[in-house]
Structure 1
Amino acid sequence: MRDMEISSSLEDYLEAIAEIIQDNEFAHTKDIAERLGVSMPSVSNALQALSLRNLIRYQPHVPVSLTRKGLELANVIRHRHQVMKCFFSDILKLDEQEADATACKIEHVLTERSMARFLALTEAISTRQDCRRLREFLAEQMPAIGNQAPLLSLDQLQMGEEAEIISLPDNKQEQQKCTELGLLPGTMVRCEGRKPFNNELLLFRVKDRSLALRESEVCNIKVRIS
């Protein structure tokens, strides 16, 4: 069915028509417009294009129906969508709405071969016993990826903000000084503003210690706000 080339936009229309017919038995122009969030004239133009390709039966003021050829293609499109949605939700742990929207964008550019391999990968990770530890890792780690606050340099913290130290400067001498001050990866540090009468010094609280440091001393320490 992949050799029946239609635009991604028309694929969306065909998929929507199939879903509406499945839900309501009939697909009216208004239903299609509401499902896709487009204007009635846009729907009419798309329906005419699909009708010319013998994918639907379309007449003004009459419910739209799929031809056998259109139903076969709609099933292929819906299968691609479901495979990708499962991959994004079950493997990458995106929420249902984001998984659905992402699948809708990517499904149109995948070949049948790549689709089959996505399906095989999803099924293997989801069911194989030797993928159990991978499933545990995905369930634990994936939800946090992309949701973390960006890395900042320590001198960018605002007064009252608390952050976790992620990495130290590359310079060995600077690393040694950080170690001596207790500024180690994984340590929480709180910015307490600038030292009175000496605006060049930044004040930090690390555990039970107060530190007064110059911006140049902390600008290469990377932190993430908690």
Structure 2
Amino acid sequence: MPNFYHLKDLSSNFEDYLKTIGDLEAEKQQIRSKEIARIMKVKPSSVTNALQVLREQDLITYRPYGPIALTHKGKQIWLILHQKYKAVKEFLSDTLEIDHHMAEVLAHKIEHAVSSEVSERMFLLNEFLNTHSSCGAGIREKLHDYYMKETKESEKTIDREPTPFLLSFLKAGEKGTIHKLKGDAATREKLMNMGMNRGQDVLVERIAPLGDPMEISVRGYSLSLRKSEAGLVIMK
């Protein structure tokens, strides 16, 4: 079983960098910083800063203008990150019966938000239901019947709406529509003065190497938002 607790010292932003490097390496590509910047939609300077941090943690080998590769330690962490994403995605698609495409989108958004313990429990539940075929199939069949029954009942009374999520969950290049603002009155007023109003579309342009701040586009204007502030904006 993957040891998800190995991820406790790595921020979500650096996890994304490590996953990108590992994915490129798995495709047998020679990895350059400009390719990472293109895929992650960030500035080359942000990539350079992230690479230096990952090198200091002995996760990659890297020198300026040279190729980039995962170390043995980096490969181990990359494999765990993939197992974590897979655990979340399978829980959403196989156990909760979320549409596979939506499960992939949601898994990318929430994989960084779940703790190591939650990741481990999701992995173990998936493994249990997959390996104990008679029991697992019975549980999933009962869940399916219950989902279908309750979904039909709810559709009789209300229109189904997209599941809300926090602005801080979005990655560079992703967008959503503001549904609601949290926080105290002063904080909400500050956000509204920045153009963060209900129904307004928001595009995440860039995220700093350490995950803070986020650069977003609202009404055609570029704004810088702390991640704690982004966590107060509920999107749809």
- What corresponds to 2:82 in structure 1? 78
Q: Does 1:22 align with 2:26?
A: yes
Deviates more, 1:11-20 or 1:43-52: 43-52
* Count of matched residue positions in the alignment of Structure 1 and Structure 2: 152
Give identity over the alignment, percent. 30
- What corresponds to 2:120 in structure 1? 116
Aligned equivalents of 1:95 and 1:61: distance in 2?
A: 42
Change over 3 Å in CA distance of 1:75–1:130 after alignment to 2: closer
Decide which of 158, 164, 168 is 1:151's aligned counterpart.
158
Structure 1 residue 18 displacement after superposition: 0.6
- What corresponds to 1:51 in structure 2? 55
Deviations 1:20-71 (A, max 9, x none): 1001342222322233233323222211221222211122222211112211
Q: Does 1:88 align with 2:92?
A: yes
Deviations 1:85-135 (A, max 9, x none): 111121122233322232233333444433222122123334431343432
TM-score, normalised with respect to structure 2: 0.54
Change over 3 Å in CA distance of 1:136–1:25 after alignment to 2: same
- What corresponds to 1:129 in structure 2? 134
- RCO (CA 8 Å, sep 6+): is it higher in 1 or 2? 2
Aligned equivalents of 1:10 and 1:91: distance in 2?
A: 29
Q: How does 1:1-226 map to 2 (within 5 A)?
A: 2=6, 5-126=9-130, 127-139=132-144, 142=147, 145=151, 148=155, 151=158
Deviations 1:177-200 (A, max 9, x none): xxxxxxxxxxxxxxxxxxxxxxxx
Aligned 8 A contact 2:7 2:77 in 1:
no
Question: Rg bigger for which structure?
Answer: 1
Aligned 8 A contact 1:20 1:31 in 2:
no
Aligned equivalents of 2:74 and 2:8: distance in 1?
A: 10
Change over 3 Å in CA distance of 1:24–1:139 after alignment to 2: farther
- What corresponds to 1:200 in structure 2? none
Change over 3 Å in CA distance of 1:112–1:22 after alignment to 2: same
Unaligned runs of 5+ in 2: 160-236
Structure 1 residue 74 displacement after superposition: 1.5
- What corresponds to 1:178 in structure 2? none
Structure 1 residue 148 displacement after superposition: 4.4
TM-score, normalised with respect to structure 1: 0.56
Change over 3 Å in CA distance of 1:134–1:32 after alignment to 2: same
Structure 1 residue 140 displacement after superposition: 5.4
Report the RMSD for the aligned CA atoms in angstroms: 3.0
Aligned equivalents of 1:27 and 1:148: distance in 2?
A: 49
Equivalent residue letter for 1:135? R
- What corresponds to 1:204 in structure 2? none
Aligned 8 A contact 2:61 2:69 in 1:
yes
Aligned 8 A contact 1:28 1:62 in 2:
yes
Equivalent residue letter for 1:81? Y
